[in-house]
Structure 1
């Protein structure tokens, strides 16, 4: 899902929601998010009404017709985004024009996926981000830096070269800076794991700096933190697999939960320390759980709202 992320003005948020809710088919989960936004602050209802009035204006209607007739642009993932830009231009221009130019973000958005969902999102500069399941990112492009805050999950970044605007990812305590490259970032409970597939990445973590090149992998919790891998193959998760090479079961559970509609939990911490190996087809969580039952004597218990693992 692509949406405006905590926009700097409530007017921009209202413009976005007017555009989205005016689409012919609005999924139920989007409707629920809209209802949550409406109830989040007293002024939201009035702002939404003002934006809706502007949206119905004849001039805007003509412009929207022209936008929807054009092929989708990389910076407008779907027609609702185009409508949001147009509405915001009418409603929010007065507010935005009073701000110093240097503080205006060139691009502000969020990307989220649920379990089992994948999303490929192009950004305005030609960068492309692919999100695994259960992933959330906030993106802010400014005049001097392109910044992504990684909230959870795993993503593959193919970053467009721009020496004047470094691309920076904040993943908990780890900061990853690149100019133009392709790499994968997995945000794990103990820290970030960064795998470089092309180019050069600089990782800063707890006062230490590591320069990584193609085939280098950094794991904040690893001992040692640096290792090597085959960069000629794409990340396994992009095809629904996970290669476990003597990893704790807790790590495999993290990966399963990016695909499983029902959350998988460890009944006891000791179970999570069981070491597992193998190639697991995560896009079929039931098959993975069956392999754990047969190969590691893991007991799988299904409750009403979760799947519990124990030994």
Structure 2
């Protein structure tokens, strides 16, 4: 299997294998040889470990459900066949023996669960509720269908959502400490470390920077953007301009529109396994621009000394560090 371009059939096969391994490893008679075989399978491809972690999450949730006195009833039938979604099939195998019906009816356990990632290319997926999602490079997210809401958790990266309308069943995207709540709309969510940016194209969304206070939040209209960091009491709201470039990744581009390096680095580091650092705040004031291929951002870093008055060093952790040439930093 290709590491960067797995087909849907390959994803399904990996999901099925992860579910089988999860059940086997939790069995009392699981042998040392089986555990060794599992470790070899898990380490054979990054997607194997990714999918197994999803299975373990489901198992952990189901394990805390109360056991019913009577045999568990079947889950309500989802809108599409469960086999079409590998994660949902895993829930059928893992959760039903542990009081799945009571878990669903109380809103504790989803009727379908999907986990997606995009590695070396942008990926488009259709969720179980028919919502469409585009995943930027290096993005990981999960989708769960609960009785009272549809829930996406953006673990890292960036995603563009076209949400299937369902007013009685809100669609919630959790990112860092906050969340975005909608019923049907088009919007983008960018996450890097503890920074989140929500851009609305169509419809309306409610952005809450602290989901521990569910009654809070600010409503966005089309053309508006919200930014927050983990711990912020409320997001910063702004209007986007006509040629806003924040969604250029959907065409495979990173656009830096005369940004200070301090603002540009989170956008650059989003695509790097080893983040670039700034030597000092003054260096962060130097401005950079240009249009770059999102699959070649690594080469952008090495070219910075050719276009800016900077040079590169490395810190003790091996991170590239941008330093300004003496006498070239902007005056405050």
Query: TM-score scaled to structure 2, two decimals?
Result: 0.62
Partner residue, 1:268: 279
- Cα deviation for residue 224 of structure 1 reads 5.8
1:309 matches 2:329: no
Could you say what secondary structure the match of 2:128 adopts?
coil
**Which of 127, 130, 133 is matched with 1:126 structurally?**
130
**Residue of structure 2 in register with 1:6 after alignment:** none
Q: Is the 8 A contact 1:75 1:124 kept in 2?
A: no
Rounded Cα–Cα distance in structure 2 between residues aligned with 1:99 and 1:211: 34
Question: Distance between the aligned counterparts of 1:141 and 1:278, measured in 2?
Answer: 41
Do 1:75 and 1:123's aligned partners in 2 also have CA atoms closer than 8 Å? no
1:285, CA displacement in angstroms?
2.0
TM-score normalised by length of structure 1: 0.66
* Structure having greater relative contact order (Cα 8 Å, sep ≥ 6): 1
Q: 1:107 aligns with which of 90, 108, 112?
A: 112
3-state DSSP of counterpart to 2:169: coil
Whether contact under 8 Å (2:176, 2:194) holds in the other structure is no
Aligned to 2:206: 202
Match of 1:213 in 2: 221
**1:265/1:91 CA distance change after superposition, 3 Å:** closer
How many Å separate the matches in 1 of 2:166 and 2:151? 13
Deviation at 1:242, TM superposition (A): 2.1
Distance 1:16 1:182 in 2: 41
In 1: Cα distance, 2:104 partner to 2:182 partner: 25
CA offset at residue 233 of structure 1?
8.2
> For 1:252, what is the secondary structure of its paired residue?
helix
**CA contact under 8 A between 1:15 and 1:91: conserved in structure 2?**
no
Are residues 1:14 and 2:7 paired?
Answer: no
> Does the Cα contact within 8 Å between 1:300 and 1:308 map onto a contact in 2?
yes
Q: CA-to-partner distance for each residue in 1:201-232, whole Å, 9 max, x for gaps?
A: 11123576322222222223699631223389
SS in 2 for 1:230: coil
Please give the alpha-carbon distance, in whole angstroms, between the structure 2 residues aligned to 1:31 and 1:224: 36
Listed as ranges, the gaps of 5+ residues in structure 1 are 4-9, 44-72
- 1:272 shift after superposition: 4.0
Take 1:211 and 1:34, find their aligned partners in 2: how far apart are those partners?
A: 34
Q: Name the residue aligned to 2:254.
A: 242
Contact preservation (8 Å) 1:12, 1:92 = no
The correspondence of residues 151-166 of structure 1 with structure 2, limited to 5 A, is: 151-166=155-170
Shift of the 13–185 alpha-carbon distance from structure 1 to 2, 3 Å rule, reads same
| Shift of residue 198, structure 1, vs aligned partner | 1.4
Q: What is the correspondence of 1:34-113 to structure 2 with a 5 Å cutoff?
A: 81=86, 85=89, 89=92, 93-97=96-100, 99-102=102-105, 103-113=108-118
8 A contact 1:219–1:225 mirrored in 2 = yes
Q: Which residue is 1:29 aligned to?
A: 45
Distance 1:236 1:290 in 2: 22
State the Cα distance separating 1:88 from its structure 2 match: 6.3
Structure 2 gap ranges (5+): 1-5, 13-18, 27-36, 60-79, 325-332
